[in-house]
Amino acid sequence: MNNDFEPATQQRFLAAVDAFRHWFLTQAMPLWARQGVDHERGGFFEKLDANGCPLDEPRRTRVVARQIYVFCVAVKLGWQGDAQPLVLHGLDFLLNRLRAPDHTFHSAVTPEGAVVNPKFDLYEQAFALFALATVHKTLPTPNPAWVGQANATLAALRSGWGHPERGFEESRPRSLPLRANPHMHLMEAALQWAETLGPASDAWWTLADELAELALDSMVQPGSGLLTELFDGEWRPAPGQDGSLVEPGHLCEWGWLLLRWGQHRTRPDAISKARHMITQADALGLDTKRGVLVNEMGCDGQWRDANAKLWPQTERIKAWTQMALMSKAMPDVMPGASGSRSEALARATQAMEALALYLEHPQAGLWHEVMNKDGTWSGEATRASSLYHIVCALETVHDAAIACESK
């Protein structure tokens, strides 16, 4: 990494990373390791109330998988707790209670393993695959059975739900609209496996390539360069207003993935489109008064939901950090700005400072899920699922900070 950041910009970034990491290690991890784990019945609790007490709800694959990721990465980020038993605790629940006989994963079960929601959901499969890849990458003794399970799940997805062109169906028989979101997380899982397995990762690179090309060819709209959310059965925008729905947080998340994929595959076209999506997320979806990305807008840039969930702020952190790490300057995609990597790093810092507002909760280790359009908080229970977003952002800036300080 060429360390050509302005000194003051880099110092502010590193200070924000330190504050973010300190909150995670001293507030979030002690609480979630103590209160977020169901040691009696297995798995993890879905939510904690305002006092940090668990709420008993059905256990979703996505949440169990995300918490497995959190405890895997926590040690890398400096947590001194005993993470491996918690990872294996979650993995046991994932494989023995959430796994279906066909090697896919149920959407939700009771703590005892009774199926609550038998409906297939590609989103759940994506996170099961992501968790397995992270465990295989992180634990000191990888288990070939985890690779075998992931391969079996991928084979089941392709045979049971493969779309005739590219990507996957929502159900059999077909139901519409087709969604971009689960494909995005499936690409995330594919990249995690591909980067973990190295030479043995052909099937995962094939999947990542397929999903990246699908996004670039069909999900990114030619006029605006924005990626929309909902599609008909032929991967054309869904009818009516649904077809022009854009989530600024997903522009950042897709942008982050496509930047990574474009670098691996030497695809400057993908990198250019990813940069455009990220800069447009800020240009159109950032409320400058509150300093946060809004939830939803149209392709015309008109906001449809001006509330601001926590997770888009984490995706903005990841996207701008990845932009800062790119080796090429960006004046072509940042009109009116300096075009420097320091500008991207400054935006990543601004996004961390915005996220810090959500982390200022009366109960240490909790956070606010939604900032209303008037700047007040929604007051809902804290979701375990959001910790994955927080930790993924922290892992991204943690790695960037190490790169900064190594020069």
List pLDDT tens digits, range 98-127.
999 999 999 999 999 999 988 899 999 999
User: What average pLDDT does the segment 291-305 reach?
Assistant: 99
Q: How confident is the model at residue 339 (pLDDT cuts 50, 70, 90)?
A: low
Question: Taking 70 as the threshold, does the pLDDT of residue 332 lie above it?
Answer: no
Asked if the model's pLDDT at residue 72 lies above 60, the reply is yes
Range of the domain at 139: 36-46+60-161
**What pLDDT is attached to residue 4?**
77
d(CA 224, CA 251): 12
In the predicted structure, residue 329 carries a pLDDT above the cut 50: no
Does a structural domain hold residue 293?
no
- pLDDT above 90 covers a percentage of the chain that reads 92
Q: Which amino acid is residue 369, in one-letter code?
A: E
Q: Are 75 and 391 in contact, with CB atoms under 8 Å apart?
A: no
Residue 118 lies in a domain: yes
pLDDT for the residue numbered 328: 45
Is residue 348 a contact partner of residue 15, using CB atoms and an 8 Å limit? Answer: no
User: What percent of the chain is predicted at pLDDT more than 70?
Assistant: 96
Strand partners, 286: 293
pLDDT value at residue 167: 99
Is residue 154 in a domain? Answer: yes
CA 308 – CA 289 distance, rounded (Å): 12
CA dihedral (217, 223, 225, 230) positive or negative = negative
Residue 257, pLDDT > 80, answer yes
Interatomic CA distance for residues 338 and 263, integer angstroms: 23
| Alpha carbons 320 and 344: distance in angstroms, whole number | 5
| Beta carbons within 8 Å of 156's beta carbon, 6+ residues apart | 102, 103, 104
Dihedrals phi, psi of 107, to nearest 5 degrees:
-70, -40
- pLDDT tops 50 at residue 337: no
Please check the confidence at residue 71 and state whether its pLDDT lies above 50: yes
Strand partners, 227: 220
Q: Is residue 69 one of the residues assigned to a domain?
A: yes
Identify which of 315, 212, 200, 189 has the alpha carbon closest to the alpha carbon of residue 261.
212
CA distance 113 to 382: 24
The sign one gets for the Cα dihedral 6, 12, 14, 17 is: negative
122-177 pLDDT per residue, tens: 999 999 999 999 999 999 998 999 999 999 999 999 999 999 999 999 999 999 99
Let me know if residue 80 belongs to a domain.
Answer: yes
95 falls within a domain? yes
CA distance 300 to 375: 24
Cis peptide before 177 (omega within 30 of 0): yes
Q: Write the CB contacts of 109 (distance below 8 Å, at least 6 apart in sequence).
A: 58, 59, 97, 98, 115, 116
How many domains does the chain divide into? 1
Q: What is the pLDDT of residue 200?
A: 85
pLDDT bucket at 3, cuts 50 / 70 / 90: low
Structural domain includes residue 220: no
Q: Provide the 3-class DSSP secondary structure of residue 167.
A: coil
Whole-prediction pTM = 0.96
Residue 183 sits at φ, ψ, to 5 deg, of -65, -35
Does 151 map to a domain?
yes
Spatial separation of the C-alpha atoms in residues 194 and 223, rounded to whole Å = 32
